Structure 1
Amino acid sequence: MKLHDSVGIVTGAGGGIGAALCRRFVENGARVVATDLNADRLEDEVSRIAEDHPGSIVALAGDCSSVEHIRASIALAESTFDAPVDLYAANAGVGLGDGLDATPADWQTSIDVNLMAHVRAAELLVPGWLERGSGHFLSTASAAGLLTQIGSATYSTTKHAAVAFAEWLSVTYGARGIGVSCLCPMGVNTAMLNSGAESVSDTARQGARAVTEAGLVLDPIDVADIVVQSLATDEFLILPHPDVLEFFRRKASDYDRWLRGMRRYQETLS
């Protein structure tokens, strides 16, 4: 994936990894539509980037899981930059609910944002990419999508699904000019992780500890640097935390042993 002169859309760009991706993409010559549900945070982030790179980034607040918003983001990118969308970074994510106490609304929102937002964007973009013979879909999943997130059933389940959908996209369209990458970080210094650590919920705090005590907590900009490097070589699985690959290998080699180990780890966090 060549970022220079490309046009991209980044969801969840009001902070964290999304804002960092926007900055690094623009610094590498891309033009970007940044979207987020939180209009104020989005405008703040985009204004800061635009100060350094005027004309390279615009904001459009809205729900990343809405087909209408995705259509509007694509239309804004094409009209603003007079070029088709080359890169879609489905980065927005949510972690809702406490285990089996998660409500039906928690589950539906998690499914919509963490999975269906990816599906709906691909439905709109892939046909055009196939005609052009190029395009790249970047899915921000999580190490929880390869392993399991202690605490949040909604997050772990939907992130597994996000990984599976990215794999399917690559298998189905990878030989037809469409690139797919799946970003699976562990601990990143974001509002989501920090809110879990400070939550009144024992389950949420336990989930945050499971992440922070498993390895390094990276800054979002460091994750964005790794993404840029990986896009340049068209890597599918992007792992900012190398330990995740070893954990994944252990899981695959002996599932029962891995599950026992995860249960023991969970007990140490109680």
Structure 2
Amino acid sequence: MPTNSVVLQGSGADVDGTIKSYAWSQVSGPGTAVLSGASTSALTASSLAEGSYVFALTVTDNQDAVSTPDQVTVTVNPAPAVTYTLTTTASPGAGGTVGRSPNATSYASGSVVSLTATPAAGYVFSGWSGDATGTTNPLSVTMSANKSITATFTQMPPTTFTLTTTASPTVGGSISRTPNATSYASGTVVSLTATPAAGYTFTGWSGDATGTVNPLSVTMSANKSITATFTATGGGAQM
């Protein structure tokens, strides 16, 4: 196999006459064989399956004498196993890994391989490309050819944010924060308190905050810049 047919060429001789007819038959073996030309010197046996076949030829001369059957054995070997390779790639390389189950260098035709994309810290899996598409994870791949599949990972946006605060004018007062840090994890709530200097009054927030609530609660969902505005009162010194 994969060849599943054979042509058998027979012959006969008669020292005192001529050969009148040929007759091929199957003696043993799988019952799949289809015989063509069984009454000629050349037999075609097709639809052969894995196994051993025995065919016999007899010839008849012009005086109707029949020869002793002459047998021939045909052995059909199993078809060689068909295997395929699977190449997997992570893009970018630092973005994550691609695991496979079962893990092998090649796979028999029809094998189902499960691919799992695992993102590295700071990345998310965003999809398959090459000989696969979509975002299903794990992904089942049926091996019907050599395949190359890429897992794409996308870097996540920063999960910490900065908060810049400004007093306007700078001599008008100060802004304190709780907790006091240079950056904040996403979702952190920071309390800002505007404290006016002598001769000034706090009049409101601007930038990434509005209103006059004081203290002000700020939820960190992005880098933010907030200004506290102070206004001189009639009885205070102005600069």
Give the TM bin, normalised by the shorter chain: under 0.3
Relative to its length, the structure with more helix (as a share) is 1
TM norm structure 2: 0.17
TM norm structure 1: 0.16
Which structure has the larger Rg over C-alpha atoms? 2
